[in-house]
Amino acid sequence: MNVRCHVSLISFSMVLFAGSGYAAEPAEVEQFVKARIEIGEMMTNYFKGGTGYGEGQRPSQDQMRQMGADINTKLTALLAKHDLTLDEYRKRSPGVFADDAAVKSYLNEHPDLKQRYEALPLDRMGRGGSTGRGY
């Protein structure tokens, strides 16, 4: 009986500590939520109204490269305000936003941010089932 008790206790401890390893810190949630909101708003404004490539035409490869470079420059500047780099944000944001309870809790405490967050396009923000770029 003593062995079962120890095994159960060890198993429970492993589950408990494994779950806490995935929890995002509140300051990190705040940092990433605010960054995601600003990125989403910036990207929405960037593509607002189209860029006039013509009816049904896609931008050329050169135009796509220029847009990508411009967007990365803007993202880098925006993320710097949140003490993040573009690579750091792309690497860590999936883990932070995977803690749905922490994100929802933070947003519920900040109704103004929650309204802006919920106004973001779901399919482009790495939410709503689509991967998008994960911004």
pTM of this structure: 0.70
Query: How many other C-beta atoms are found inside a 10 Å radius of the C-beta of residue 97?
Result: 19
- In sequence order, what DSSP letters do the residues of 35-67 get, joined into one string? HHHHHHHHHHHHHTT-----TTPPPPHHHHHHH
User: 74-133 pLDDT, tens per residue?
Assistant: 999 999 999 999 999 999 999 999 999 999 999 999 999 999 999 998 654 454 444 344
For the chain, give the mean pLDDT. 78
Average pLDDT of the segment spanning 2-13: 45
User: 41-86 pLDDT, tens per residue?
Assistant: 998 888 886 655 555 677 889 988 999 999 999 999 999 999 999 9
